[in-house]
Amino acid sequence: TDACQAAGYLDMDVVKLGVDLMSFNGSKIYGPPGVGVLYKKKGVKLMPLLYGGGQEKGIRPGTENVAGIVGLSMALKVAQGQKDEENRRLSELRDFFIKGILGKIPLSRVNGDLQKRLPGNVNISILNVEGEAMLLMLDEYGIAASTGSACTSGSLDPSHVLLALGLSHEAAHGSLRFSLGRQTERYDLVQVLEILPKIVEHLRQMSPLELGEDGFFAS
């Protein structure tokens, strides 16, 4: 299982989860970038991707990044120690933000369950506007977000995950993902709630799309 987004937020007890392999990285928990963890259950066989040198039990050659390993260990310790308090704080901010978006922007909806989601995850779709266009305008205000479409892969296809949730192609292309973290304060979200509705209104005036509320779902 890929637990990069779970580290610091969810229970990562490999015995309870029953996983054979689990991975997570340092940059997602405010640790050093370029270092990660792979848990391997006893008895699971791995084939090396790189050859040469007998380090790391013949699975991977090279010299261990000791500083990175220590930094990741400390980052995980801090994240796990703050987990309960930070989860409560982020969940409150997330719910405030979602309520604000749905209240201020017509034809918007939350993607995924309202409760069964990561504390800092806000994924929304806004009809009759492209996610890429919203990102570009948000960036002008110094607001970082991402869209569900695979823009960085050179593909114009919408997120297969959002399509699997039943969204139409149009709704999936109009998705935005905001990630809240340790430095996120209520003030930051209030600022976004002031700016985003104006951006959406501006873009809709230029959009040829005029989908109704049922346009969120694939027919």
Residue 151 annotated among the catalytic residues of the structure: yes
With contact defined as beta carbons under 8 Å apart, do 171 and 217 qualify?
A: yes
Distance CA 121, CA 189 (A): 13
Angle at 84 between CA 88 and CA 72, to 5 degrees: 120
Radius of gyration of the chain (CA): 20
Side-chain half-sphere exposure of 5, counting CA atoms within 13 A: 7
Residue 147 CA to chain centroid, in angstroms? 10
Positive/negative CA dihedral, 139, 145, 151, 153: positive
Report the residue count for the chain.
Answer: 219
Closest CA to 49 of 60, 40, 63: 60
Q: Which is the catalytic residue, given 38, 70, 150, 151?
A: 151
User: What is the set of active-site residues?
Assistant: 151
